[in-house]
Each structure stands twice: as C-alpha cells, then as structure tokens.
Chains A and B, each alone.
Chain A
Amino acid sequence: MFDAEKFIEEAVEELSRRIKGKAVIGISGGVDSTTAAILVHRAIGENLRCVLVDTGYMRKNEIENNEKMLTKLGLSVLVIDAKERFYEKLKGAVDPEQKRKIIGELFIRVFEEVAAKENVKFFVQGTIAPDWIESGGGLRDRIKSHHNVGGLPEKIEFEIVEPLRDLYKDEVRVIGCKLGLPPEIYERQPFPGPGLAVRILGEANPESVKIAREACAIVEEEIEKAVKNSEMSRPWQYFAVLLPCKTVGVHGDVRVYGAVVAVRAVESLDGMSAAYSKIPHDVLERISVRITNALKDEVSRVVFDITNKPPGTIEYE
C-alpha cells in the first residue's frame, strides 16, 4: 500500500542529502510541480528558487494567480516573461512532436539562464510516471514527448532531480494534501506543460492562443458552475481544443465561416486510461452557446469529444 507519510519522510531525507547548495525548480503552479517544490523546500529551505515561466500558453490569469498562490506558500518565486521567445520559436510549427520538442528545449534554456546567473547546479522538475512512460525509450513506444522528459535537449547544463518520478497524479494529490497544500492546488485538474500550445492544433500563434484561452475558460467556468449546482460531478480533466478546420455557419442571416472548438472532458485516476465524461446535455449546450457567442468572429461550431483513452489520448497532441 502506498504510504504517503513514509514517502515524504524518505523523499525529504534523500533530497537534503543529494542537493548541495542551491536548486532551481521549474514550477507551473499545478499539482505536480508545486508538490515537488514543497518537498524540496522542506529539504533545502531558502536555497530553493522557483521559476515560473510565462510561455504565452498559460490559461486566463494563470500566471498572476499562481505567482500569488506560490508566494503565499512561502516559496521564493521568479516569474520570467518568455512569451515572445516561445511565439517566435513556434512560428510555422504544426507537427505535434516538433512543437513539444521546441517547447521542451526552450523551457530548459530559460532555466539554464537562471541557473547560470545564480550559480545553481541542481534543477528540480515535477515529473511523474506518465511523463516518462508516454515519452518512451528503449522498448517503449513514444506516445508523446513530455516537455520535461522526451522534449529535453541532449545537452543540459545541470543535474536533474525528480522526486515524484514513480508516482501518478492521484498519489501526488495525497502527498500534496499531506504537505498542507490548499485543496485548490492538490485537487486542481491537470494542465500540460506545453499548455495551450497543444490545445491548438496547427500553429500556436498569439491569435489562436486567444481563442483557445477564452474557450478553455468558458469550459472551466460552465463545468465548475454545474458542479456547484449539483448538475454533475467534477470530471478529472475538462478543457477546449481549437481544431484546425473551418465550417460554415449563419449569423443574423449572413454566412460565416469559422473554426471548430472541441470540448473534451474525461474521468480518470492516473491519466493512463480514461473514459469520456457523460456531461449532461444542458451543460454542454450552455458551453456551446457561450463559446459561439463570445467568440463569434472566430468560432462557428462546437463539438463534444466522446473518445476514451485508449484509443484517444486525453490531450490532442
């Protein structure tokens, strides 16, 4: 049986032994990286520097909110605005693996710059089991290169530390809870490292990010409202994806030709298998109406994804 308290005790001991001097952690404010940060903070205290990269692919208000929340937890947070660098590097990139690799490499370069400036030799990541399993290697096929594993460049200037490597999301949540994180963090739905860039099929440019960001916000708001009103239970993960195709519609007797947004929501324990969420039609309808109205100039159709994992993956790229 998984013993969270024993895990915490052993992890903190191991981290204090292994990390000499200062360390930098790549943090997003999600369950995994925040839990890893608290563990390392327990081990080395003020010697931990948390770097929150604004890739330009985070959700609505996410950077501001997460910076506040992480600072409140007693962590020393450095926000780096790398939006323009990410947009520039991803220009023209449409292949999902190419996008993930570009993002993985750019993340590391940003962290290396911080590490060099602060003379840090250790770099912590909140990598969990599905990240390295799905990234493949040896006999295992590559399903997708997670930015923190398969997306890493070959040459890296520091030693990588991954205290949660053998755990799944549900186990990390238990640890996060035991470490005293607030439920808003340890119950937070997963969000991929490459962010909205993998929820935009095709080129992830500033214009398409705006659409995906707004659509994701609407899906989150409507589902959370419905959960609050006891219309449904909260899915494991729920979001919108901007598809790379257009369809015809009609607005006030005038033809429109706009993009398609897919709504995805799944039930899972660990992300390694999933069933699509049976969301009530009333809730789906509210999502559809809001997206097609709020994004009327961009989106003319909303579809609901009914694929399990396997054969689909949870995210689209």
Chain B
Amino acid sequence: MSRPVKVYVVDNGGQWTHRIWRVLREIGCETKIIPNTTPVGEIDADALVLSGGAPRIAWESPKLGCCTDYLDHFHGPILGVCVGLQLLAVHFGGQAGPSEVPEYGLSRLKVIEGDDLFRGLPKEFLVWESHNDEVKTVPNFTVLAMSENCRIQAVKHFEKPLYGVQFHPEVNNTEHGEEIYRNFVNVIKSR
C-alpha cells in the first residue's frame, strides 16, 4: 500500500479514545474518531480500533452500539482495547465479567506469544491498565500476554484478523505502546 493506512477509532466513551487517535496519527495513519453507532456500511477504513470505555461488559453491552456488527461484517483487521477486548471474547463464545483483582495504573505485562502485536518487543514490560472487568475464557483465540492479576491481557483470533488487549498501549506511560500500534498497522499492511 503506498497511501497511508486508514484506521478509524470507534468511540466507546473511553478516557483514552482520543489518545488512540493521536498515536495512530503520530505513526502516520489516516485516522478519525467515529461514534460506535456508525453503520458498518458507512465505514471506509482499512482497519478499526475499538476503544475502551465505561460500559460494563456483563450488563451494559448495548452501550457498545454497532461494535458486534463490526466484528461480524467489517472487512479488515480490528483491535479491541479494554472493553473492546472483552466484547471480542464474549461475541465469539467466551466469557467476561468483574475482575477478581481489578488493575488500575501500573502493571507488568508478560508476553506469551511474541508474534504480530508483540513482534520485536521484550518478554516483559510495564503497561498502564484501567479496568473493572476482565476476560475469563476466550475460545477461538490464542492468548498472547498476561499479567500477575489478569490471565488474559492480549489475544489473537485463530483465523480472523481480530486482536484484543486488556491494557492500554495508547497511554504514554505504557512502555512500547506505540510499537504495538505499529505492529497492528503492519498486520494491516501485510494483508
């Protein structure tokens, strides 16, 4: 692809939705923030990032608008962040709900599978978290990373170009965050 990759940020009402937009812009993507009620047919992007947000996965998923439509009908790669990851898991047959030990702020990420999202990154590094809920089970996905208090920190679908992260790579305090988004963009470009 010679033109910039077009990655839109689906706004689920997160504190860091606009940060995702900023990081994507900084790594050279064409990007904009779209409401999560945007019909999938109107989205002309190459890929999507589903932002985090305050909705609780177990009882507020209607607030996530058309996100499940995107998972079924959007043609390109999708990265779900925080509640975006939780929705991925639930939509494809997994479970998510209140965390046994919620994580806020600093946490140490342990990478299990260094492919795709974590290509070229250390096995362990510091990330920023902010979640009340977590993924409990995630069939059809490979777990790529974990932390001490949360077993499922990053996933990749067995076949589809669907990824999810529980932590927030768009937050400036997260180490290697921008590289994770670059790796996601490389996934888009390699298709």
Contact = CB atoms under 8 A, between A and B. Distances in A.
A275 B12 contact: no
A250 interface: no
Contacts of B53: 139-140
A1 B130 contact: no
B181 interface: no
A220 interface: no
A270 interface: yes
Interface in A235-292: 268-270, 272-275
A166 B32 CA distance: 12
A308 B103 CA distance: 12
A310 B171 CA distance: 11
A180 B106 CA distance: 37
Given A139-B53, A139-B54, A273-B173, A133 B18 contact: yes
A275 B13 contact: no
A1 B19 contact: no
Contact of B28 (A1, A139, A140, A141): A1
A138 B22 CA distance: 21
Contact of B105 (A268, A269, A311): A311
B133 interface: no
Interface in B135-163: none
Interface in B101-132: 104-106, 128-130
B38 interface: no
Interface in B1-44: 11-19, 22, 25-26, 28, 36
Most chain A beta-carbon neighbours within 10 Å: one of B14, B22, B55: B22
Contacts of A87: none
A84 B28 CA distance: 51
Interface in A164-202: 166, 168
A143 interface: yes
Nearest to B11: A139
Nearest to B28: A1
Given A2-B26, A270-B172, A310-B130, A275 B106 contact: yes
Interface in A112-163: 129, 133-134, 138-141, 143
A143 B16 CA distance: 13
A272 B105 contact: no
Most chain A beta-carbon neighbours within 10 Å: one of B17, B18, B129, B130: B18
Interface string A219-239: 000000000000000000000
B13 A138 contact: yes
Nearest to A143: B15
B13 A140 contact: yes
Interface in B48-76: 53-55, 63
A22 interface: no
Contacts of A134: 15
A269 B18 contact: no
Contact of A272 (B11, B19, B54): B19
A309 interface: yes
Contacts of B171: 272-273
Contacts of A269: 172
B63 A140 contact: no
B15 A274 contact: no
Contacts of A143: 15
B22 A275 contact: no
A295 B14 CA distance: 41
B18 A129 contact: yes
Contact of B25 (A2, A133, A140): A2
B106 A140 contact: no
21 contacts: A2-B25, A134-B15, A139-B13, A140-B15, A140-B54, A141-B13, A168-B22, A269-B172, A270-B172, A272-B15, A272-B19, A272-B171, A273-B16, A273-B128, A273-B171, A273-B173, A308-B173, A310-B104, A310-B130, A311-B105, A311-B130
Interface of A: 1-2, 129, 133-134, 138-141, 143, 166, 168, 268-270, 272-275, 308-311
Given A133-B15, A139-B36, 16 more contacts: A1-B26, A133-B18, A134-B15, A139-B11, A139-B12, A140-B13, A140-B17, A141-B13, A141-B54, A270-B172, A272-B172, A274-B173, A275-B173, A308-B106, A310-B128, A310-B130
Question: Which 4 A-B residue pairings sit nearest by Cβ, starting from the closest?
Answer: A139-B13, A311-B104, A308-B105, A269-B172
